[in-house]
Amino acid sequence: MLDNINFEYYDSVDSTNDRIKERAHAGEKQGLVISAGTQTAGKGRIGRKWESPKHDSIATSMLLTPQEISLEAVPTITVVAAMAVRDALSRLYGLEGKIKWPNDIVLDGKKICGILTEMEMKDGAVWFVVVGIGVNVHNKSFDEEIAYKATSVDLELIKENRIGETGHRAELTKAIWESFKRYYNIFIKTQDMSGLKEEYERNLANFGERVRIEAQENSYEAIAKGITAKGELIVEVDKKEQIIRTGEVSVRGIYGYV
């Protein structure tokens, strides 16, 4: 179980995930959170770079040292983290995001966060897990290649004509990890999504709708039906259910990113 959260903040780091790994190797206890004003070498899924403009976005990572967790349960922690970000945005700002499987939070069809979970093994078992979260808060513009699918807290508040309201990075960071603690402690009891599945599906983008599954070798259309207890996506293809696992597979809306 995750009991205590210990927050540390740095103006600039290479990667909050890498800083957590260093501390884990030094024997740090579970619950350490390292956040930074900017990252010089932030990482995203599938080897992508994650941009962290100085003091515009959240870059934050937590150390977990779960006891006797199965290797197959570790990727599901990313799904749990997505629920925490969605919940924190809802509670603090009334921004009701949807989860684009497995772990993107989208508002008005645009992505507001990225999540990267990494782990290390020791003696044939999971040694520690690092959960890294990046959230766009004050960003007003984005690089051309992602501008069509990216948004921020402040941009969404502007869309809602909430003049004078802005996000708060420290406040949101704290709220995210508080929500994560609650969800994670439900998850770790069973090491699956059985206790969280209903809420996740309630907030799943494209639930019951047609999506495009993009794999390395081919792509095809399917209907999103929900998730398994392991956090895998259930889709229907030609009236037969299939299971989509995380990895180098992307799920897109038929007419755009969502």
Print pLDDT tens along the chain (258 aa): 999 999 999 999 999 999 999 999 999 999 999 999 998 876 654 445 555 667 899 999 999 999 889 999 999 999 999 999 999 999 999 999 999 999 999 999 999 999 999 999 999 999 999 999 999 999 999 988 888 999 999 999 999 999 999 999 999 999 999 999 999 999 999 999 999 999 999 999 999 999 999 877 788 899 999 999 999 999 999 999 999 987 656 788 766 677
Query: How high is the pLDDT of residue 139?
Result: 94
Please, which residues bridge with residue 210 across strands? 223
**Is the CATH number 3.40.50.10860 carried by domain 6-202?**
no
Query: How high is the pLDDT of residue 43?
Result: 60
Query: How high is the pLDDT of residue 178?
Result: 98
CB 90 within 8 A of CB 96: yes
Class of domain 210-253: mainly beta
Segments making up each domain of the chain, as ranges: 6-202, 210-253
Which residue in 129, 111, 125 sits closest to 48, CA to CA? Answer: 111
Query: How high is the pLDDT of residue 46?
Result: 43
